[in-house]
Amino acid sequence: MAEEFLRIDRLVKAFGPTQVVKGVNLSFNRGEFVTLLGPSGCGKTTILRMIAGFELPTSGQILVEGKDITGVAPNQRNIGMVFQAYALFPNMNVAGNIGFGLRIKGVSAAEREARVEEMLKLIGLSGYGKRYPFELSGGQQQRVALARALAPSPRMLLLDEPLSALDAKIRVSLRDQIREIQRELGITTVFVTHDQEEALSISDRIVVLNAGNVEQFDEPFAIYNRPTTKFVATFVGTLNTLSATVADAARKSVTIGGTDVTIPALPATARNGEAISLTMRPEAVALSADRDIVLEGTVHEVSFLGSVIRLKVDLGGNALELDTFNDQRTPPPVHGARVKVGIAASDVLVLGE
């Protein structure tokens, strides 16, 4: 059974009359990698800063291993933090930067040197101890910042959009390395990002935030495939929407383009004659006439994305995006082509606000 490590209880943060965090309740397990995901201004960084102690909550509690740390000073929390800006000391070499927290704690020079070497090996920068920050790439500097946060053996690691200043290829490489290190150390980690792909690829669980509220807290698979609110569905990934009318609520039957279809996800609150929106991901739509829902339309746009080709099909009042794998032997339909698209009813969601 998972052991609770961090609990956030009814956490509120207001700046003047504006509440940016609105009564948030969360529980993280020991050794878990949790991502706070959401648009700018949703409160994710403010929550992280309250966990670190850099911001005091307006009300609510933060408990680590069952102990209330809400009013504890940041330097007494034994928490490591990595910022978006590398924040390395330019007058110190790599070894000096990594060992800085150990020196502040009074660790002996010999122990510091051994720990710094251990950290350099962990982040794949053995032999770089005498270099200065200006001699390193952005990715290397961020790895040094990570090592500096981990060197004092914190009980928890916080990362505030640490990859946002890096180019795409380095971001992917470094996020994978961060995840490997986190698993190796077994350290409870809270990661902040606005990048959906980053969150889905790196997390054990994801907290989706919107305007200071938790919209959904779940595993990546559920966040993407079974969003519980319209905001989560539209913020995480691409979402198609089809207009429909409830034909027989008791039988979960709806009418789409003159055809009655059974939708298992139709809520019990649906009423006959009600206009509703059906949603589904692009990969749930196929160029096929062998599905529960079959619609005919015109290819409006073809986007080549490498291994995947995304088509936008105009259905006359509705438009659907669908993904199909790139097959060298079968070119995709061209702009203006008439096609039939199919959707399995089990892949359809009906989402409220």
CB of 279 within 8 A of CB of 239? Answer: yes
Domain that holds residue 277: 240-350
For 130-182, the pLDDT digits (tens) are 999 999 999 999 999 999 999 999 999 999 998 887 888 888 889 999 999 99
Which one of 212, 235, 258 terminates a domain? 235
Give the list of residues 6+ apart from residue 192 with CB closer than 8 angstroms, or none. Answer: 35, 36, 44, 45, 48, 158, 159, 160, 161
| Sequential pLDDT tens for the chain (353 residues) | 779 999 999 999 999 999 999 999 999 999 999 999 999 999 999 999 999 999 999 999 999 999 999 999 999 999 999 988 888 999 999 999 999 999 998 999 999 999 999 999 999 999 999 999 999 999 999 999 999 999 999 999 999 998 887 888 888 889 999 999 999 999 999 999 999 999 999 999 999 999 999 999 999 999 999 898 889 999 998 889 888 899 999 999 999 877 788 999 898 899 999 999 888 999 899 988 888 888 889 999 999 888 889 999 998 878 899 988 888 888 888 999 999 999 998 899 887 65
Predicted model pTM:
0.89
For residue 158, what is the domain's CATH number? 3.40.50.300
Q: Are residues 218 and 270 in the same domain?
A: no
Q: For the chain, first and last CA: distance in Å?
A: 34
Q: Are residues 226 and 282 in the same domain?
A: no
For 88-128, the pLDDT digits (tens) are 999 999 999 999 999 998 999 999 999 999 999 999 999 99
Predicted local distance difference test score (pLDDT) of residue 248: 92
- Can you tell me the distance from the alpha carbon of 201 to that of 206, in angstroms, rounded to the nearest whole number? 10
For residue 276, what is the domain's CATH number? 2.40.50.100
Three-state DSSP class for 185? Answer: helix
Please tell me the total count of domains within the chain.
Answer: 2
Which one of 179, 207, 235 terminates a domain? 235
Q: Are residues 212 and 317 in the same domain?
A: no
Q: Are residues 230 and 247 in the same domain?
A: no
CB of 266 within 8 A of CB of 254? Answer: yes
Which one of 210, 235, 260 terminates a domain? 235
Q: Are residues 279 and 303 in the same domain?
A: yes
